[in-house]
Structure 1
Amino acid sequence: MSRYYIGADIGGTGIKAAVVDGQGKIVARRSTATPVNEGAAGILAALKKIIAELVCCGYEIGGIGIGTAGRVDQAEGVVLYATKNLPGWTGMRLAEAVEKEFPLPVSVGNDANAAALGEGWHGAAAGLNDYVMLTLGTGVGGAVIHNAEAISGRQGGAGEIGHMVIYPGGISCSCGQQGCTEHYLSGKALSRLAAEAAEGWDGRRLLAEFAAGSATAAAAMERYMHDLSLTVHNIQSFMDPEAIILGGGVAESHALWWDAWMSKLAALSPLSIKVVPAELGNDAGMIGAARMIMNKEGK
């Protein structure tokens, strides 16, 4: 019988998990809202519940991979730091907690790293060895892949693009800094720009109005595209990757603003930058998390 793996993805708004086969195909999936109001205990219980449902689907499960927002000690499976998007999650011994519930090997890593591994396995980064993934979702995440492996760093902070400062003295961040990228490029940031542009607008409305040619929307998007261009330029300057993969919920709407942004990026940066949209969408983190435990098990 073929062996399958569970890949889970924990974010500030939702928890998703899937059974993935050895070729990266999802054969079963579950999802639930992240019960942030219940703190760490509630989040862990919600994760265990959907994993249990998948374990009972009848597949031979070889292990569980988990991608979570925050800085992670991958060797120990411990969340070293998480923002208020996952309250109480800092210090969670996630691998240990899940292994106690399920008699299976468990691997835990940063969610952006998992998504990047997924894109490298079967997505926009297939065939690449050195690339960076920038995820624009509830927050802003990032991952650095070198020689086809995720770099985690000494304190699990490699690729924390969301907490690079682009505006010193800017908007206060829960990490203790001011002017972090997360507050200018996340979905929440886009919604803030939308609300400032016109009463009653949210991020989706802003993008739709921009695509329709609204001058009001264009002014707000000009700010967003400038900050995105600046961030991508800085990544290219520092890492010089083969490509930068743009993923996350905001990036999924790229058809509405990609061409305009490419013009903005070309005007801002003299560098040759290859940026491509992610291909796996919301499945990237689950597929990559499954790949993570497969790598750990040598499969």
Structure 2
Amino acid sequence: MKRTVVVGGAGGVGGLFARLCLSRGPVVSVDLRPASAAGVDSVVGDARTPTAAVLDAIRAADIVVHALPEHVAVEAAAACAGAVRPGALLAQTLSVQRGACRDFTALAEERGAEVCGLNPMFAPALGFAGNPVAAIRVVDGPRTAELLDLVAAAGAEVVELSADAHDRTTAVLQVATHAALLAFGTVVADHVDQGGDPAELVGLAPPPHLTALAMTARISGGNPDVYWDIQAANPYASAARAALAEGLLALDKLASVGDRAGFADLLGRIEDRLDGQAPGLRDRCARLFALPRDEG
């Protein structure tokens, strides 16, 4: 019988995959609290110090998905590796893939298991439909293909790439983006500390600022572990933040010396590198900015 175990199945990402896998057969969540997803069975326990019930659940599964923060996922996978069935799929959903794929492969080798990395590039509450999922086939096989087919059937855009390419790309997609918003948030916090009124900022905000505030609030109210792993674990994160800082210093220099032509060149370079994507991106921005403020 096909059976899936989601370690961390009571969390947002874990619940996303638990609900997805119900279509292929029974799903068991292993977590510190019961899963809330309808139809998903729960084994309450810490996979880092697995009980007999946790190990029995993993022995019965042909797909095991670790949907945990990085500092927990590898430890939990190592503690449970001996219970993984030969030929089963050992998958993980981490934001940084190169190290995780290496560690999971080492754990899976002696069990003859498949290994796959999956990184949903969206908040779990949004669901798979219409959203991208990065997929890394490490030790490929039929269960990996089945799981990726399930993700695609749920409406996600599955983008396959290597673990290293994933981390290089997400350093731009996530590290630089989040770092820029956190720096922006620091400017806002400093303004408020100096007597500024956050309600006034929201009330007066033009669409770009309001959008940046909304994205910053999404991060500040989110799971710190998720955003920390992105900034601290990606091997290309430091270079991305350095490039961000260098870009800001370059802008500051242009403005400080009154180099209007250099500023125009900067915009031209960005426009050129966006290539054919720029018009569609401007259209997307226009639709976003056209939302009524109480919907934005």
Q: Which has the higher contact order (CA 8 A, sep 6+)?
A: 1
Q: TM-score, normalised by structure 1?
A: 0.35
- Structure with a larger share of its residues in strand: 1
Q: TM-score, normalised by structure 2?
A: 0.36
